[in-house]
Amino acid sequence: MSKPTSNWEKVGDRFYRKVQLYSDVFDQDLELENYKVVGAPYSGAVAIYRDEEKIHTYRGSQAAKSSIDIYSCAGKLIQRINWDKGSIKGLGWSEDEKLIVVTGDGTVRCYYELQGDFVPFSLGHGAEEHGVQSCRFWSSGFVALLGNNHLIAVSRYDEPRPQLLAKPPTDDVISWSIIPPAYSLSRSVEVVLAIGQTLYVVDATDAEDRDFTAGPFRHISVSPRGEFLAFYTEDGKVWVVSGDWSEKLSEYNSGAKTVPKDMQWCGSNAVALAWEDEVHLIGPKSVATKFYYDAWVHLLPDVDGLRLLTNDVCEYIQKVPAETEAVFRLGSESPAAALLEASTLLDQKSPKADDLIQMIRPSLAEAVDTCVKAAGHEYNIHWQKALLKAASFGKSVLDLYSSDDFVDMCETLRVLNAVRFYEIGLPLSYDQFKRLTPERLISRLLNRHEYLLALRISSYLHLPTSQIHVHWACRKVRLSSDDEESICRLIVKKLNGLPGISFEEIARAAYDEGRVRLATELLNYEPRAGKQVPLLLGMKEDNIALDKAIESGDTDLIHHVLLHMRKKLPLASFFRVINTRPVATALVEASAADQDRELLKDLYYQDDRRLDGSNLLVSEALSQKDNLPAALDKLRLASKYLQDSKEYTSQRQVLDETQRLLKLQEQFEKDLSAPGVEGTGTGPKFVGLSANETIFQLIREKHNKRAQKVQSEFKIPDKSYWWIRLRALVASRHWTELEELAKLKKSPIGWEPFFNEVLAAGNTRVASHFIPKCTSLTVRERVEMWTKCGLLVQAGEEAFKAKDRVLLEELRDRAGGSAAVELERMLGMLGRR
């Protein structure tokens, strides 16, 4: 077994290791130097296409056909996308392994699931006229540079919204790069442009000149988390600047005459420069190490390292993880190293094992942890085992140790080793796996149609397997040549009853394939009504879609279906459809009331809902504002609407009365606004008042005759009439009339309200007129009334008449001045008798 340190390189005071992941990657005939190569993040697939700017050997017409080829890291062809859609100006991956292809005319194609299917969208913002020059990608979006130096950012692919960033100067862009939104200070994407001698930083709102003079910068590279920026200057120097631009961290002179073809970060602490077959790795403090290759080498940066790809090998350069270094570094004195040593000694049945263990006893737990972690970072299965064995040994010596980490690591390693296998070709590092998450690893496996492995891993890691089944079924539906019945039977047999299965997705796949019957059949197994609706609409099964939408209870869905049907169907059939479905009818009514009254009218007519129809007309009459004739017309119509049915006679009566009232009011307005009245020519307004209010208004204006006419016309009860009269008189302060009223014998509402209302208006004098008339009240109450008017003497007389001594005494206590004397006198009189 080779030593674990054999592939380590010292760069300054740190170690880097170059792990060979796969060999014999590509066909030797493939002229990799003539290809552009981009790799998906987290050791994902690699897409290559022939660089059109380079000449290449002619290999017959077949090979001349342009294509984008997607390979696994191990060189297995996953998909070939034939390309005849123009020149490719940008090729990149998203975090979830979507391949993004940007062509010169600003069209973006987003290939999902590593298949030939794509979703296109266009950049707009002048991309078509000026042409896309190049693109830079980050995990969930990209920025395109146009011919006129405009920058367009797209920050998501599910709903792309190309956004024009601030405009930089139009001089030639020498090189450029982006800082992903997650790591920029402004939390939105920032673009670093090298123009002339200086650098510009561009975001959505402004383009800022950073005032550099050391340019022109040939390459710009941003570290994976945006904490550092690296620049390659014209004179062969590499500058590293902190992400906030505050300080220059290091400068390295490559001494090279030719500009390297690529510069990338390796993790966050080293920069790699690549010439055709030479790679310089520059660590902090400007020390470098060099690697040489036989063939053209491509750099594929990843979050924690750098993949190198040549025809022969796929290698991975990363900083040696701290734990690994602690265990394996030559001469390491860390407890973990000792533990590993002890474990090997134990295998050799050497008693020294125990001595070693005793020596590191105090830090044994830490040593176990380190060994476990180091195992995770190890690619070599032999060393993984050795480290885990050491950890296990250490663990057995400890009294108390939680084995969770150890168990987790064993599981993880098993998964990692499985996917690293060359036939799968996903050489994930431990950190990448943690960041990718097992769920997304599963979906990557699905993209590669590794269903069995995905299932095994899912059940091994206790993950839901539904997605795998669905994916499998979709593929089955798409590709199987069996008859529909047996496909359906097969799928249902395998999937029915499993949790989380989306039959809708499978049905949709079937429908997209043109297998409509299969789709319908599969859809029946979908438990989520909401999910079925869009597909059913697509399949033109509108009525079923409506039923399903109603079943789901989601009004949005119901509205959606209804809108759809409303556009498609003639009115009569539309009504027929909703007629039997009360919820749908209610929703149509509710939205039509705001938006489409004509529809509502038709609906009521069709359904013979007379009262509703008439009410609708009334509310239209109400919205006529000052146009009285129009309002009257509507009312007449409303009344007519009801004329055939007996049950609405009272409603009709109201409608007819309303018309009479309105006409009457109009008349009043005309009569009373004759010039001379009120001087201004515009009399009081009546239209719109209620009958009572009309009377009120008339009495206020002293048109008593007219008021009485209204009363008799609308048969307003006497009681009400008196109340209105009272309120109107009080409101207009017609005290004399009130006093006149007080002379009457009887009032239908009694006299108490008169007292209360007048008193509330503040006229105690007039109010007191009514007190003696309130004969139905008790003495005490009347006394209280007098008191409220401030007439204590009269109150006293009231009490005196009733011979209520107690009351009188109370009054006396409250009174002062002459009233008190008078009250005292009364008391005396009472007392005498």
CB 529 within 8 A of CB 545: no
Which lies closer to other proteins via its Cβ, residue 238 or residue 662?
662
Which lies closer to other proteins via its Cβ, residue 261 or residue 709?
709
Which lies closer to other proteins via its Cβ, residue 340 or residue 621?
621
Residue 145 CB neighbours (<10 A): 22
- Least separation, in Å, of the C-beta of 128 and other proteins? 16
> What tokens were used for 602?
């038709």
- Least separation, in Å, of the C-beta of 727 and other proteins? 7
User: What CA–CA distances, in Å, run from 807 to 283, 445, 795, 818?
Assistant: 107, 99, 9, 18
- Least separation, in Å, of the C-beta of 115 and other proteins? 20
DSSP letters for 628-674:
HHHHHHHHHHHHHHTTT-GGGHHHHHHHHHHHHHHHHHHHHHHHHTS
d(CA 139, CA 720): 77
Which residues have a Cβ under 8 Å from the Cβ of 828 and sit 6 or more positions away? none
- Least separation, in Å, of the C-beta of 239 and other proteins? 28
Which lies closer to other proteins via its Cβ, residue 78 or residue 749?
749
Give burial (CB, 10 Å; 0-12/13-18/19+) of 363: middle
- Least separation, in Å, of the C-beta of 173 and other proteins? 22
For the four alpha carbons of 697, 698, 704 and 707, in that order, the dihedral sign comes to negative
Question: ∠600-601-605 over CA atoms, to 5°?
Answer: 115
Give burial (CB, 10 Å; 0-12/13-18/19+) of 795: buried
Give burial (CB, 10 Å; 0-12/13-18/19+) of 22: buried
Which lies closer to other proteins via its Cβ, residue 13 or residue 159?
159
CB 468 within 8 A of CB 454: yes
Which lies closer to other proteins via its Cβ, residue 69 or residue 505?
505
The side-by-side arrangement of strands in the sheet containing 262-266 is 262-266, 270-274, 278-282, 288-292
AA identity, residue 759: L
Question: ∠377-383-386 over CA atoms, to 5°?
Answer: 115
Which lies closer to other proteins via its Cβ, residue 464 or residue 762?
464
Which lies closer to other proteins via its Cβ, residue 264 or residue 614?
614
Which lies closer to other proteins via its Cβ, residue 220 or residue 726?
726
- Least separation, in Å, of the C-beta of 542 and other proteins? 15
- Least separation, in Å, of the C-beta of 786 and other proteins? 19
AA identity, residue 324: T
CB 814 within 8 A of CB 803: no
- Least separation, in Å, of the C-beta of 177 and other proteins? 19
> What tokens were used for 17?
């290791």
- Least separation, in Å, of the C-beta of 634 and other proteins? 11
- Least separation, in Å, of the C-beta of 105 and other proteins? 19
- Least separation, in Å, of the C-beta of 553 and other proteins? 5
> What tokens were used for 201?
């930083």
- Least separation, in Å, of the C-beta of 203 and other proteins? 6
Cis amide bond preceding 464, omega within 30: no
d(CA 503, CA 505): 5
Which lies closer to other proteins via its Cβ, residue 221 or residue 467?
467
3-state secondary structure at position 514: coil
Rg for the chain (alpha carbons), in Å?
46
Strand 163-164 and strand 173-179: pairing? unpaired
User: What CA–CA distances, in Å, run from 632 to 215, 494, 662, 711?
Assistant: 82, 70, 8, 22
- Least separation, in Å, of the C-beta of 463 and other proteins? 9
- Least separation, in Å, of the C-beta of 328 and other proteins? 38
CB 324 within 8 A of CB 371: no
* Distance, C-alpha 245 to centroid of its chain: 33
Cα dihedral angle (480, 482, 486, 487), rounded to 10 degrees?
Answer: 10
Which lies closer to other proteins via its Cβ, residue 186 or residue 242?
186
Which lies closer to other proteins via its Cβ, residue 278 or residue 554?
554
Which lies closer to other proteins via its Cβ, residue 345 or residue 687?
687
Which lies closer to other proteins via its Cβ, residue 450 or residue 526?
526
CB 234 within 8 A of CB 273: no
Which ranges of 701-751 would DSSP assign to H, the alpha helix?
704-713, 718-731, 735-742
- Least separation, in Å, of the C-beta of 343 and other proteins? 36
Which lies closer to other proteins via its Cβ, residue 501 or residue 791?
501
d(CA 623, CA 159): 42
Which lies closer to other proteins via its Cβ, residue 115 or residue 756?
756
User: What CA–CA distances, in Å, run from 776 to 504, 766, 805?
Assistant: 80, 20, 21
- Least separation, in Å, of the C-beta of 667 and other proteins? 14
d(CA 617, CA 392): 86
CB 146 within 8 A of CB 168: no
Which lies closer to other proteins via its Cβ, residue 378 or residue 620?
620
3-state secondary structure at position 311: coil
Beta bridge partners of 252: 238
Closest CA to 43 of 566, 556, 429, 568: 429
- Least separation, in Å, of the C-beta of 166 and other proteins? 10
- Least separation, in Å, of the C-beta of 710 and other proteins? 10
End-to-end CA gap in the chain:
135
Which lies closer to other proteins via its Cβ, residue 356 or residue 557?
557
3-state secondary structure at position 493: helix
